[in-house]
Amino acid sequence: MQNTISRRQLLSLVGKAAGGAAMYQAMSSLGFAAQSTYSGPLQLQGAPRNITVLVLGAGIAGLVAAYELRQAGYQVKVLEYNKRAGGRAWTLRGGDEYTELGGARQRCEFDQGHYLNPGPWRIPYNHHAVLDYAKRLGVPLEPFIQVNYNAYLHAKKAYGGKPQRYREVQADYHGYVAELLGKAVNQNQLDAPLTREDQERLLESLKSWGALDKDYRYLSSPLSSDRRGYDVSHGGGLMPASVPSKPLELKELLQSGLWQKLAAGSVQEFQSSIFQPVGGMDQIVQALYRQVRDLVQLNAKVSKIEQGADGVAVTYTDTDGDGAPRQVKGDWLLCTIPLSILSQIEIDAGQPLQDAIRAVPYENSVKIGLQFKRRFWEQDEHIYGGISYTDQAISTIGYPSTGFGHPGKGVLLGAYIWGPNAYEFGALAPQQRVQLALRQGAQLHPQYPAEFENGIAVSWNRVPFINGCFGAWTDELRAQHYSNLCQIDGRIALAGEHASYIPAWQEGAVLSSLDAISRLHARIKSKA
């Protein structure tokens, strides 16, 4: 049996223990962690006169396209299925009503000033395009707190089901890994030996990183308690002396699996700074909508897309009218309708594009907002913003990044669910989802039952305008269909997060839109 560790293995262990290198690599392969390539405002020069571009969908991709195409001098017409613009950049506030597939109707009962973002809820610092539009349109931003070391990590079968503070788990995990690595270095168990100087520096770095004692042990001490917290904190005057806390046992810590969430803040998207628009995520798309409101027709359900040598035609019905089919014509068309819906619409396009549209499955997600009588997470547990994680189906509890210390009510993100659990939650009636989120959330916060007032639950596979959450590309599907999906087919181009390498993010939708209209503009000029 091999009992040595190479430099490569050592550095791999350090990287994994320190944060999200491994996770970032895995996410990059799936297209989730790609950095934005945005380099500044779009410059479309020389648009031919009297050219009409039809845009289907008034989500952020469609609104950006309408805004930029009109700035360039094109005539633009936007058709949107919903009674509002914004698509998945959606904020639910008190008084809002929402009917999902199957007919279940919900009314948001949140008090004024509180809201839930069922779709995107944060903007990473490296999503340059979205941040630039917020700046250009005067949308104020505020910090979004991703990592809160005083929040909780929870596993049903670990520590008797009692949640542990994030800082405690991280401090103990880092400390034990540093101790093990320190022992390996001290015992010269490196198959590619470090120089003596490198070894000494590595040992010192491990001692500092892991809060180890002089013998490279991770123990209960002021060093470790400065990171994981004290049982009795430092006081003043004649207050009791501080008491260091006792680390979790290594074996149980490893078995708990709580360490799996420690890398969350190390993934590039979640590294500080992260932002949110003041007042709700829909503020950016609403600012865009105000710029192009006169171009957008709401309640327009598209049923057919045709093209010929001289133009395009779209058949739609006014869902707020008599239901009779209508038709609008243009010279070119940009379609931002999600593939989950577009695959159900008759479209006059070549077989490669048809196949690509039908090839991409959509993932589901569920978000549940819960209003409570008071902000007990702050008042009782001193959690100000950030996220707690659990291995229960609800997965995530998100604390508001605003209103700190407010004496009144508060709204938590009571669940953010992916994968099979999302479909199971989605199969329940909305209020059953809320009640299940309450029962599971009470495992972390026993105040839930007494403090709860009302809630609302959105399961994206039941949202009529998308029937899913985002395009779930695989490497195999991308290799076969992605290029065909993004090619201009005659007079039709597609855009949206599904036509990007940053799926499930607004940034992907914006970059896709800018790329598509840039290529469409070049095609139009070449034929002028």
Kindly list the structural domains of the chain, giving each domain's residue range(s) and its CATH number in brackets, ordered by start.
7-30+165-256 (1.20.1440.240), 53-86+303-360+473-527 (3.50.50.60), 92-150+273-280+365-462 (3.90.660.10)
Report, as an integer, the average pLDDT of 479-507: 96
Does residue 29 have a pLDDT over 80? no
Q: Using 50, 70 and 90 to split pLDDT, how confident is the model at 37?
A: confident
Per-chain mean pLDDT for the chain? 90
Does residue 156 have a pLDDT over 80? yes
Structure tokens at 82: 């919903």
How many angstroms separate the Cα of 97 from the Cα of each of 92, 123, 148, 286, 321? 8, 26, 33, 18, 20
| Residue 403, CB-side half-sphere exposure with 13 Å CA sphere | 21
Does residue 18 have a pLDDT over 60? no
Q: Using 50, 70 and 90 to split pLDDT, how confident is the model at 182?
A: confident
Q: Using 50, 70 and 90 to split pLDDT, how confident is the model at 6?
A: very low
Residue 247 is classified by DSSP as: P
Q: Using 50, 70 and 90 to split pLDDT, how confident is the model at 23?
A: very low
CB 364 within 8 A of CB 426: yes
Does residue 33 have a pLDDT over 60? no
Residue 454 is classified by DSSP as: E
Q: Are strands 346-347 and 452-459 parallel, antiparallel or unpaired?
A: unpaired
Phi and psi (nearest 5°) for 35?
-80, 145
Phi and psi (nearest 5°) for 421?
-60, -35
Separation of alpha carbons 503 and 211, rounded Å? 39
Q: Using 50, 70 and 90 to split pLDDT, how confident is the model at 35?
A: low
- SS3 assignment for 238-268: CCCCCEECCCCCHHHHHHHCHHHHCCHHHCH
pLDDT at position 381: 97
Euclidean distance between the first and final Cα of the chain, in Å? 72
Does residue 189 have a pLDDT over 90? no
